[in-house]
Structure 1
Amino acid sequence: MSTPVIKAKKRKIDSECRVFKSSWTLDFFVVEHNEYLLCLICQEKIAVFKEYNIKRHYSTKHADTFDTLTGQVRIDRVNLLKDSINSQQSFFKAVKLSSETATKISFLITEAIAKSGKPLSEGEFVKDCLDIFTSVACPNKKSIVESISLSHQTVARRVDDLSSNIEISLIKRLNACKFYSLALDESTDVSDTAQLAIFVRGVTENFEIIEELLDLCPMKGTTTGQDIFNVVKHVFMKFKLADEKLSGLTTDGAPAMTGKHKALLALCSNQ
């Protein structure tokens, strides 16, 4: 009769409840940092909270130099190295915060430019004005202004990013609607291009009303009922609108919208 083989379970570090011991700092020049151990001397990460690993790292790399330090001299060296690490971290945090602030200001100024309908090149003029202001009022903030990117290429990218963010947000809000209706109006702009404006009005299960300009679609060539229907169908796909939630469709009464056979309403009814 054969004896059953019992497989040994592998030990998991997480299950061993290893914790940092404060004595390791003075003995081996290590501190706990972001869920791992950090050597104060070489700033190398030690992944495992195990004295054997920490001692091996210290013995093989730093013992020859730092074993001679004892008593208060050793304590002072540990504190000096800890202060150096903290200074480096504070510096990088300050740089990151300054960069985030500059990016946020760039987006806010771009939004203001877009809302006012100003040319994208106005960003560089705004930056010049900010530079003048900081030079006189708050010279210590001049470095932030210098790091703000407001070239016309950057402003154009910011506008695209803002537009994409608004579109994603609108899709999420419309997906929460139980029902929605559309209103369409087709007109011609100053460049003699037909523009189809599509408005949406929806209601959520909590009776929150959503009313937005869904899209403004330029129509090249003809503007027949089939052309308008194709544009509307594309908008449905773009904003992930469910056909079964559509409760109403309002138009401006043009023949291409309300005709009995090949107009928009007729084509929508046949779907």
Structure 2
Amino acid sequence: MKFDLHTHHSRCGHATGDIEDYIKAAMEVGLQIIGISDHSPYFYHEKDHPFAQITMARSDFPNYVAEVLALKDKYKDKIEVLLGVESDYFPQHIASYQAAYKQIPFDYIIGSVHQVNGVSIFNRKRWNNLTKQQMIEEKKTYYTLIAESAQSGMFDILGHIDAMKGYFPDFSNIPANDAIDQTLRIIADQQIAIEINTSGKTKTVGGWYPSHDMLERAHHFGVQVTFGSDAHVPTRIADDFDEVREVLKAIGYKQWVFFRQRKRIAVPL
């Protein structure tokens, strides 16, 4: 079975194509399941659409849900369409997000840490002039937030758990293995899946999130895995799916998972 649970579209302001374009692209590459998971609005913000190039507007969120549900029904005999969202994790604003999601019939929610200490993880300048120890503390804070997101009870999947390396490849060499291992233990204990996200190839670092060595450690701790291309253009649907599957087999994984109605479903590799 082929699936892709992490996709975006034009509503978020930095992807191209509408939702139906991604569904059609998924059918063209032979997927049985396609998940739609655009960026959540900033539900806590006083403005309806404070960052138009990052997320959808809060007022547009009901339209997003309605469109996915309508397309789910339209294509039900051709491909299974799943309703998801990639949700920011801001520990101080959990209640706002929980209230917004409460009545939505999601199949899954991806939790992603996109900011550390108020700065985007993709900000190329965030590492300038930091000492080695300060870099270590930044990395540890990142993994503390990921661990907290796993414990929040909000998410089924954790998104791109080493994406902070995207525009700073040396991130992987910052020594913080103790923090990473503790985070992986917590993720395993909470029975949340991490995604193998192939969009790292579109960034300076190249490759996937997480790195192969982190996937090996995730397997050691019993962390479950899923697949997401994080496509922002329809042509990236299921990008590197077969390669990811073979790497997971080589590591020792026997299965990966997807979610339907917030229930985890295992699929043999």
Shorter-chain TM-score bucket reads: under 0.3
Greater per-residue helix proportion: 1
Structure-1-length-normalised TM-score: 0.25
Structure-2-length-normalised TM-score: 0.25
Report which structure shows greater RCO (CA 8 Å, sep ≥6). Answer: 2
